[in-house]
Chains A and B, each alone.
Chain A
Amino acid sequence: MSTTPENSAATCTRTVVVVGHGMVGHRFVEALRSRDTESTWKVVVLSEEAEAAYDRVGLSSYVGAWDRSALALAGNTYGGDALVDLRLGTRADRVDRDARTVTTSAGDVVAYDALVLATGSHPFVPPVPGHDSAGCFVYRTLDDLDGIRTAAEAAIERAHAEGREANGLVVGGGLLGLEAANALRLLGLTPHVVEFAPRLMPLQVDDGGGAVLEGLISSLGVQVHTGAGTSSIAAQDDDRLAVELSDGTALLTDLVVFSAGVRPSDAVARTAGLAVGERGGVVTDLACRTSDENVWAVGEVAAVEGRSYGLVAPGYTMAEVVADRLLGGEATFPGADLSTKLKLLGVDVASFGDAMATTPGALEIVHTDATKGTYAKVVVSDDARTLLGGILVGDASAYTTLKAYVGREVPGDPGALVSPAGAELGADALPDDAVICSCNNVTKGSICGAIAEGACDLAAIKGCTTAGTTCGGCLPTVKRLLVDSGVELSKALCEHFEQSRAELFEIVASTGIRTFSGLLARYGTGTGCEICKPTVASILASTSSDHVLDGEQAALQDSNDHFLANIQKNGTYSVVPRMPGGEVTAEQLITIGQVAQDFGLYVKVTGGQRIDLFGARVEQLPAIWQRLVDVGMESGQAYGKSLRTVKSCVGSSWCRYGVQDSVGMAVDLEHRYRGLRSPHKIKFGVSGCARECAEARGKDVGVIATDKGWNLYVCGNGGQTPAHARLLASDLDDETLVRYIDRFLMFYVRTADRLQRTAPWLDALEGGLEHLRAVVCEDSLGIADDLEAAMARHVEGYEDEWKAVLDDPVKLSRFVSFVNAPEEADPTVAFDETGPRKVPVLLGLPTVRENV
């Protein structure tokens, strides 16, 4: 791990002059410098302020700490970058577009090939008499705040001596005005806010929201005067200011801060003859290019297609657009979301979409709770169906959910969206992040996720999501989701593929598409997710013998498949070597013991007749595998949706009851089907006689010896919903047994749903066991040869996944703890060995309730 200063020097051919070193100007320089890898541009930055670019959004945090360096933007002096010439305290006075030069306040003339205007905006000071008196301030720069501080401290001293309270008046009750009022409060003044409009924050909230906001703000000690203009300001003998409001109110105040909106700082552009907008601002196209093709405008000074943006994020986007353009790119400004959610003086305020109902015919629905001090409004289209926007004051917790609805149809009565019972409505149309169970904060997404994972009744959903376990009020909605999902679930794999797993399998098999991206491009949408990626990875693995970490496939595998080990609760892995049929040599057993000792692993014998080694860190895995591979062991694929174990009893070689060699058969079967990727895990059991000591009927494939051969049972499992395997065929010889199992497994792999084990697959199969028997034993579909050939290819192509990684330096290089400190053990991994067994210690977390 290392940190480096930025350095560069090379030949450059062109010069870009940036006027203004605010947040956006700085962002532009950074974007250009980090992308201009050939160093084709030299940059000259002219900054009127003596301070290099700082965090203006966080300006209010300067109050109290008074530490300028805390607000400095990263890399704002470009130390070590020879291609950036930053001139602080230097204003651009004049631009000559014909000569392509800028004249600075220092008297220099700087030539440019491209000029970027990033001059931002300045506070608007209404021309009331006395607006330039001593004691009047604006709120935009660090210097402004220093001025306010000095005046405030003097005022407090004076007021103290006179035995009164010091106060300050803010002209303008918008977002910034309220921030300024808070700053005055922090400085020890009693703030007054005068707002010309009939409400506070007139741009963000409406009258009703403003009224609630005013109540909340007033209760914090801010004196609010709405619906009043400032008529005059007059300096008094005692250094105070007498302010008269248009409603006749007269106030004596120690200082005044103007926060009545901003105006684009477009003076330089105007005198240079560039096109400016009606309300100011340099007009640009979507590429942020002005009426002169060599001049660009970004940030608050720009009026992109005539529209100005008073937020920093759109400015950053513009900076990126121009940097891209200067390097020959084609980027355009995509517009910006002006939704806001903020806490002002501790009060939640949010507005989103068409909050002011400016859409023709728009309807507003309001819910006010005077006792709680909350206000909620939604704006819907004229047919009351589509949500257009809204405002929340006092409690903005519904912001995320409602914003998710904007532009969508509202289910049922739109008024319910702001009523306290809103969550009861139209569950099917709700966005995934909508909270269904508010007692336990369970979202629709979590509930649907649980259903998709197999929760099929209320009890199961309660169990795995906690939804409905407190007041139970949401249970009807949960039930509806359950009913609805029955339909949805039958097909689409996820939001990226409309097809079911079986359909995708057919597509892969028939088209020969071998990549996820190829499949997605032709048959899906988006970029995939944690559901479709492993599913497709599994299909690709079932249909070829490429290594699961080959090429693009590596990015599809679930963490377990990606690291070829089972992830445990603290992020370490467990390692399970294969022990076919439960057989292991003494040498192997010794090695396992030594590995466990050397790496400090916890050892446990599994239910599948093998040994699990717990607590290995990612970077230890290859070394552990190497030791196991060296004594002839291989991956047991305990991590995969694939064949796990073939459990066997001792059988005829040792058992006095045994009628067939169950161990031999188990070992053969495990060798044949190891590595087969499937919709879910597959387990086998082989018993040497009808006493069934291997519990084969609790497995997906159960083989039980008879005195004439083998009985084949299929589709059983233990686990949450145990199912006994059903008899498929009796008294088979070895060869027929294997042939039938080949067909059965491949048929299942082709047609089952994602994460569907064999028992539910059989339940869902049309025609049930009879149909399955016809397909497997009588080849009723005429696909038996196909299925057998596919299995033959699998057997042929099998390769130990561990060994393949050990032999491949590129794959091996991914087994590191940290990309920048490959051998450093993860400091968060710890174990407790004081008890009867070694256990992982988590990080004082979970801090949040598990809902899965």
Chain B
Amino acid sequence: MTTLVNTPVPTAAPTVRTLVRPGILPAPGARLWVAACPVSHLVPGRGVAVLLPAGAQAALFLLPTGMIYAVDNLDPYAGAAVISRGLTGDRSGEPTVASPLHKQVFSLRTGAALDDPEVSLPTYAVRVQHGEVRIGLPLP
């Protein structure tokens, strides 16, 4: 099988944007910081999937506002790892992502499904260091 993709490509000069800020404050607790990608690799408004240790995966989003959020990539409704491919936006100011499968809307800040109090996505701490986005995992 040929592989013709997947070499990281230098993206066009990033558009002027405000200070990039991790949107989920690291909750207390020791953590392991997993390198995701350079901030410049992210497309504002879009997500990417990040592989975490032990097969877990996060959906990482940069919003046009400069905020960065990470939630779990697994859609709890569908049982498929698709959240990173959802559309972002806001609902009354709350930053959101909608599942690409059945369009349930989740808060990027808290992970909560906005129409279903019972359901929420786990969230991850995010930080940007030296232009590199990292995702924080609680240490086992």
User: Provided the pairs A530-B87, A530-B89 are in contact, do residues A845 and B78 lie with their beta carbons within 8 angstroms?
Assistant: yes
Contact between chains at B5 and A815 (CB < 8 Å)? yes
Question: How far is A312 from B28 in the complex, measured between Cα atoms in Å?
Answer: 10
Contact between chains at B9 and A819 (CB < 8 Å)? no
The 11 sampled A-B contact pairs (Cβ below 8 Å) are: A3-B32, A69-B30, A433-B115, A435-B117, A446-B116, A559-B85, A618-B85, A818-B49, A820-B50, A850-B78, A852-B77
By a CB distance below 8 angstroms, the chain A residues around B86 are 530, 559
By a CB distance below 8 angstroms, the chain B residues around A534 are 87
By a CB distance below 8 angstroms, the chain B residues around A822 are 5-6, 8
Query: A567 on the interface (CB 8 Å rule)?
Result: yes
Within 8 A of B (CB), among A554-611: 554-556, 558-560, 562-563, 567, 569-571, 598-599
Question: How far is A496 from B93 in the complex, measured between Cα atoms in Å?
Answer: 10
Query: A834 on the interface (CB 8 Å rule)?
Result: no
Contact between chains at A73 and B90 (CB < 8 Å)? no
Q: Could you mark each residue 123-140 of chain B with 1 if its beta carbon is under 8 Å from any beta carbon of chain A, else 0?
A: 001011111000010010
Among the stretches A289-297, A366-374, A772-780, A823-831, the one at the interface with B is A823-831
By a CB distance below 8 angstroms, the chain A residues around B82 are 559, 567, 571
Contact between chains at A3 and B34 (CB < 8 Å)? yes
Query: A623 on the interface (CB 8 Å rule)?
Result: yes
The main secondary structure of chain A at its interface with chain B is loop
Q: Which of B5, B55, B63, B105 sits near A530, CB closer than 8 Å?
A: B105
Contact between chains at B87 and A623 (CB < 8 Å)? no
Shortest CB distance B27–A (Å)? 9
The main secondary structure of chain B at its interface with chain A is loop
User: Provided the pairs A626-B4, A828-B80 are in contact, do residues A843 and B74 lie with their beta carbons within 8 angstroms?
Assistant: yes
Q: Which of A73, A827, A829, A846 sits near B78, CB closer than 8 Å?
A: A846
Within 8 A of B (CB), among A529-570: 529-530, 532-534, 552, 554-556, 558-560, 562-563, 567, 569-570
Contact between chains at A446 and B65 (CB < 8 Å)? no
Further contacts, 17 of them, CB under 8 A, given A74-B26, A815-B5 = A1-B34, A2-B35, A37-B131, A55-B29, A329-B19, A528-B89, A530-B105, A533-B89, A570-B80, A813-B5, A814-B43, A820-B34, A823-B3, A845-B76, A846-B79, A848-B77, A852-B103
Query: A851 on the interface (CB 8 Å rule)?
Result: yes
Query: B71 on the interface (CB 8 Å rule)?
Result: no
Question: How far is A316 from B21 in the complex, measured between Cα atoms in Å?
Answer: 14
Contact between chains at B85 and A3 (CB < 8 Å)? no
Within 8 A of B (CB), among A27-50: 27, 30, 34, 37
Shortest CB distance A69–B (Å)? 7
Smallest CB gap from B129: residue in A = A34
Question: How far is A55 from B12 in the complex, measured between Cα atoms in Å?
Answer: 42
Within 8 A of B (CB), among A507-533: 517, 526-530, 532-533
By a CB distance below 8 angstroms, the chain B residues around A517 are 64
Q: Using a Cβ cutoff of 8 Å, how many contacts connect chains A and B?
A: 254
By a CB distance below 8 angstroms, the chain A residues around B92 are 495, 526
Contact between chains at A529 and B79 (CB < 8 Å)? no
By a CB distance below 8 angstroms, the chain A residues around B25 are 27, 313, 316
Question: How far is A17 from B78 in the complex, measured between Cα atoms in Å?
Answer: 50
Query: A195 on the interface (CB 8 Å rule)?
Result: no
Query: A810 on the interface (CB 8 Å rule)?
Result: yes
Chain A residues with CB under 8 Å of chain B are 1-4, 6, 8, 23, 27, 30, 34, 37, 54-58, 69-74, 76, 312-313, 316, 329, 397, 400, 432-433, 435, 441, 443, 445-446, 449, 495-496, 517, 526-530, 532-534, 552, 554-556, 558-560, 562-563, 567, 569-571, 598-599, 618-619, 622-623, 626, 809-810, 812-824, 826-829, 842-848, 850-852
Chain B residues with CB under 8 Å of chain A are 1-9, 11-12, 19, 25-26, 28-37, 41, 43-46, 48-53, 55, 57, 60, 63-65, 74-82, 85-93, 95-96, 98, 100-105, 114-119, 125, 127-131, 136, 139
Shortest CB distance B113–A (Å)? 8
Shortest CB distance A483–B (Å)? 21
By a CB distance below 8 angstroms, the chain B residues around A56 are 28
Q: Which of A3, A810, A817 sits near B12, CB closer than 8 Å?
A: A810
Shortest CB distance A28–B (Å)? 12
Query: 10 smallest A-B Cβ distances: which pairs?
Result: A845-B79, A555-B45, A559-B100, A529-B89, A55-B28, A530-B98, A842-B79, A571-B80, A445-B115, A819-B48
